[in-house]
Amino acid sequence: MIVTIIKLKVKSKRLNIFILLIFLISFSIITFNRKKVWADSLSLWNDVIIKYPRASVAIYNRGLAKNEEGDIHGALKDFNRTLEINPLDVMAINSRGAAEFESGEQKEALDDYNKAIELNPQYSGAYNNRGLAKYNLGDQEGAIKDFDNAIKYNPKLPETYYNRANSKYSLGKINDAIVDYNKAIELNPDYATAFDNRGNAKYLLGDIPSAILDYNMAIALNPQNANAFNNRGTAKLAIEDKEGACKDWQKAVELGNKDGYENMRKYCQ
């Protein structure tokens, strides 16, 4: 089961544009030979921070840029620095929690989400992320309550419905999970993992043809989705399409799925 962290990607892009406009207006000393500084967001914020070392918004945005590039350690350093300058920056607290979550520091992430929610009780992203931390710690009921609050304060984020569906699925509430997967897909018709997981839910309910349709869509949207190939193979075996199942498992193995290997060893000799 794949979960989704909300990192304020959309909001951060808007914030980047807003801050960029401020710097363009306030510091209109940029000349043609310095255009390369603005080639990407990391270069932009590095340049700003060199000039203004205590510009906490720039440090925070550089942390977001590092996180996007997979530099979690570097992102954490920037979020920590942001909070040294501005301890009540609720977005930095939430983003630090997300980075801690990705680095496996579940307790630290939970503490940061708690603090973000304490500072802003209507912070949808922090509720979603705290729900994910609880999900990882096995507290599915607590996770669902947090996802409920996230949806209450922002009902337009497909990730939150997807995450709540995963928690419901884990509790065996399969029909309820499908309702949430449906909503996630309605809000984001290109949500490949939602199609994959909805297929799993339909498979458990015995609706194999519909499950296969969902796996087909997941693969069409993301041809590198090894789980979807493995899951479709299992569904094809259930309708006695062993040849099709083995082909899907072979593809899953090529993409690095270990379950596909076990299925091939068991059924495709």
Q: Which amino acid is at 37?
A: V
Give the domain CATH number at 253: 1.25.40.10
- 185 within some domain: no
Whether residues 203 and 95 share a domain: the answer is: no
Whether residues 152 and 238 share a domain: the answer is: no
Domain that holds residue 224: 190-269
Whether residues 59 and 127 share a domain: the answer is: yes
What pLDDT band is residue 7 in, cutting at 50, 70 and 90?
very low
> What is this structure's pTM?
0.83
- 184 within some domain: no
Average pLDDT value for the chain = 89
Token pair recorded at residue 257: 């799925």
**Is the pLDDT assigned to residue 6 strictly greater than 60?**
no
The pLDDT tens digits for 212-223 are 999 999 999 999
- 28 within some domain: yes
Percent of the chain whose pLDDT exceeds 90:
82
Query: Cα–Cα distance between 116 and 94 in angstroms, integer?
Result: 6
Whether residues 22 and 104 share a domain: the answer is: yes
Whether residues 91 and 16 share a domain: the answer is: yes
Q: Which long-range contacts (CB under 8 A, 24 or more apart) does 98-101 make?
A: 98/5, 98/6, 98/7, 98/67, 98/129, 99/63, 99/67, 99/72, 99/75, 100/76, 101/5, 101/129, 101/132, 101/133, 101/136
What pLDDT band is residue 211 in, cutting at 50, 70 and 90?
very high
Note the residue count of the chain. Answer: 269
The pLDDT tens digits for 114-129 are 999 999 999 999 999 9
Whether residues 32 and 160 share a domain: the answer is: yes
- 181 within some domain: no
Q: How many domains does the chain have?
A: 2
The pLDDT tens digits for 51-76 are 999 999 999 999 999 999 999 999 99
CB within 8 A of 157, min separation 6: which ones? 6, 124, 128, 150, 151, 187
Q: Which long-range contacts (CB under 8 A, 24 or more apart) does 169-172 make?
A: 169/1, 169/197, 169/200, 169/201, 170/1, 170/135, 170/140, 171/140, 171/141, 171/144
- 179 within some domain: no
What pLDDT band is residue 269 in, cutting at 50, 70 and 90?
confident
Average pLDDT over residues 174-189: 98
Task: Output the pLDDT for position 1.
Answer: 52
